[in-house]
Chains A and B, each alone.
Chain A
C-alpha cells in the first residue's frame, strides 16, 4: 500500500536525513525523483543536516592511491578511489564534502570521495612557470556568491634559497561553479618559505603562517577572506610573539585553528584557538612523542579522546592523551603508511561546475 502524497518541503526534510548513499540510490527511483534529489536546493538542505556530518578520513598512500575510511577506528577498513595522475599527490583542503588535491605539476583535482566524482580544474593562465616559482594553495567556500574557491599564492623563486627573487606574492582565485580564474591584489605578507604548506580553511577564510613586511619581520597568521578576497591578520599565541613560525604548522583540528610547534626536544606544543579570532582563547598542550613518533599534524578524533596524527615518517599514529601512549593505526590489516590525509564529511555536492548550469 502506498502512503499519501507528501508535500515537497516534507520530502526534502525527510530525504535530507538520509545518508548520501541512500539518496543516490533513490535517484534511481524515477526521472522526476532524480531531478528532485539532484537539485541545488535539495543538495544544500542535505549538506546542512548536521546529523550526517560524521567525519570520514581520506588518505593518500605512498603509492599515491586514494583511500577513504568511513568508520575511523584502530583497525579500519578502507575503500579505494580511482587513481589520479601524479607522482606525489597532496591534499590542499576539504570543504562541504569536496577535497582539493594537487600533484607535483600543480594540476588540481576536485574530488567528492562520497559520490566518487572527480573534476580536473584548469590551471590559471597567469600561473607562474614551474621551476622558477613556488606556489601554495587553499580551498574553501564563499558564502556571498555561493561558490567554492581555490586560492593560489605564488612568487618567483628560481633557487630554493630563503630569499624570493621578487617581493610580490601573487594571489589567484578560481571560482569552481563559474569556472574562471582571476588575479586579485597581491598579499601584503611575506609567504616565502622552505616548504609550501596548504592553507587552513575555517570561518570563510584560508589561513597561512607568514611573515610581516614591517621592519621587525614578525611572524603572523595571515587569513585570506574568501568573500572580500583580502588578507587580514589573526592574533597568534602571545607566548609565540618572538618566535619564528618557519618550522610550525597551521591546521584546522576539531573546528579550531591549531598551531603545531616542534620544540626540538621530542616534545610538540599544540596550540588551539578555542574561539576564532580571540587572542586570549589560545590554549596549549604539550605532547611527549618519544623517539618513535615525530608528530606532524592531527587529523581527527577516535571517540572523545584519542587523536589520529600524521607523523613525519608517513605513519598514522593514534595518541591516547591520558597516558601519552602511541600506537600505529591499522588500515586493511597493516599499519598505515601515508603521503597525506585529511578529514571530509559525506555530501552530494558536485565537484564539476557544469553540473550547476
Chain B
C-alpha cells in the first residue's frame, strides 16, 4: 500500500460536469462523505461527486489543501476560513454551502452560512428577493400592511447598496 511506503495517497474527484481533480487523501477526507467512501473501499478509481460542479469543487479543494496545511490551531484555521471566504460573491457562497452540505464538511458549512448571513444582514428586501429568486406574492395593500406590522425592523437600520 502506498501509505506504508510513505508516499501520500492521492484521490481523483470528478465533478458533475466531468472535470477531474487530484487531491491528497489526507486533505480530501475533511469531507465526511469522501472519508466514508474511502473507508468503504469505494475510492479505488475516480470518486464521482454528482452534486458539485467543477468551479465549486476547485474552490473546495483549494480550501481542503489550505486548511489541512494548518496545524491544530483553531485561531489560525478560523482566520484562514475568513480570508478564504472574503472575496467570494454571493452566488459562489450559495454554491459552496450546498457543496459543503453534500460533502458533509461541518466547519466549512458553518463558516459559509455565517458569511452568507453577514452579507445579507443589511440588504434590502428587494436585494434578498432578487438573490433568492423570490416572487413577491403580496398585493400592494398586503405589502404595506406587513411592512407596517414590521415597522420595528426598518428603524435605525442602514440598508447597504443593492449591488
- Residue in A19, A24, A114, A116 whose Cβ sees the most chain B Cβ within 10 Å: A24
Interface of B is mostly: helix
Is the pair B122, A22 in contact by a Cβ cutoff of 8 Å?
Answer: yes
- Select the stretch in B8-16, B67-75, B93-101 that faces chain A: B93-101
Question: Closest CB of chain B to A349's CB: distance in Å?
Answer: 14
Most buried by B among A33, A51, A115: A33
Which of A13, A29, A31, A115 is within 8 Å of B152, CB to CB?
A115
Q: How far is the CB of B13 from chain A (nearest CB, A)?
A: 20
Contact between A27 and B113 (Cβ–Cβ < 8 Å)? no
Residues of B within 8 A of A (CB-CB), count = 39
User: What is the CB-to-nearest-CB distance from A78 to chain B, in angstroms, rounded to a whole number?
Assistant: 12
Looking at B22-30, B57-65, B124-132, the stretch in contact with chain A turns out to be B124-132
Query: Are B98 and A4 within 8 A (Cβ)?
Result: yes
Whole-angstrom distance between the alpha carbons of A127 and B152 in the complex?
Answer: 35
Q: Are B125 and A4 in contact (CB under 8 A)?
A: no
Q: A18-B117, A25-B150 are in contact. Are A10 and B125 (CB under 8 A)?
A: no
Q: Spot the interface stretch: B37-45, B80-88, B133-141.
A: B133-141
User: A3 near B122 (CB under 8 angstroms)?
Assistant: no
Evaluate contact between B152 and A15: CB separation under 8 angstroms: no
Residue-wise interface mask of A (123-137) relative to B, using a CB-CB cutoff of 8 A (1 in contact, 0 not): 000000000000000
- Chain A min CB distance to B141 (Å): 13
Interface size class for chain A? 20 to 34
A22 and B113: CB pair below 8 A?
A: no
Q: Is the CB of A14 within 8 A of B134?
A: no
- Provide the bound-state CA to CA distance between A79 and B14, in Å: 55
Cβ of B78 within 8 Å of any chain A Cβ, yes or no, is: no
The answer to whether B94 and A116 have CB atoms under 8 Å apart is no
Candidates B101, B113, B133, B155; contact of A2 at CB < 8 Å: B133
- Tell me if A17 and B138 are in contact (CB < 8 A): no
In the complex, the answer to whether B91 meets A3 with C-beta atoms within 8 Å is yes
Which single member of B94, B137, B153 contacts A25 (CB below 8 Å)?
B153
Partner of B97, one of A1, A10, A20, A116: A10
Chosen A-B contacts, 11 in total, with CB atoms closer than 8 Å, are A2-B130, A3-B132, A5-B133, A6-B97, A7-B101, A17-B113, A18-B117, A19-B121, A21-B153, A22-B153, A25-B125
Binding site for A on B (CB under 8 A): 90-91, 94-95, 97-98, 101, 109, 113-114, 116-118, 120-122, 125, 128-138, 142-143, 146-147, 150, 152-157
